[in-house]
Amino acid sequence: MRIHWGASKAESRPLALTIGNFDGVHLGHQAMLHALRTAATSLSLETGVLTFEPHPREFFARNEAPARLTTLREKLELLHSAAIEHVAVLRFNPALAALSAEAFIEQWLVRRFNTRWLLVGDDFRFGAKRGGDFNTLQQAGQRHGFECFALSSIMTEGVRVSSSAVRDALAQGNLSLAHALLGRPFSMSGRVLHGQRLGRTLGFPTANLAIQRRTPPLAGIFAVSVVSPQSPHPLPGVASLGTRPSVRSDGQWLLEVHLFDVQADLYGQRLRVRFHHKIRDESRFSSLADLTTQMQQDARQARAFFASAPDALTDVYAPTPNDHAPASAEPRHD
Cα separation, 1 vs 48, whole angstroms: 9
The pTM of the full predicted model, rounded to 2 decimals, is 0.88
Give, as one character, the DSSP assignment of residue 296. Answer: H
Domains of the chain: residue spans and CATH? 2-156 (3.40.50.620), 186-313 (2.40.30.30)
pLDDT(328) > 60: no
Residue 216 in contact with residue 178, Cβ under 8 Å? no
Higher confidence at residue 134 or residue 206?
134
Q: What are 261-305's pLDDT values in tens digits?
A: 877 777 788 899 999 999 999 888 777 788 888 889 999 999 999
CB 298 within 8 A of CB 279: yes
What pLDDT is stored for residue 248 in this prediction? 60
CB within 8 Å of 317: residues ≥ 6 apart: 183, 184, 185, 187
* Phi and psi at residue 27, to the nearest 5°: -60, -35
Nearest CA among 197, 174, 199 for reference residue 185: 174
Nearest-angstrom CA–CA distance, 255 and 300:
19
Q: What are phi and psi of 113, to 5 degrees?
A: -115, 5
DSSP-based three-state secondary structure for 35: helix
Contacts of 217 (CB under 8 A, 6+ apart): 66, 67, 68, 69, 166, 167, 170, 171, 186
**Mean pLDDT for the stretch of residues 91-102:** 93
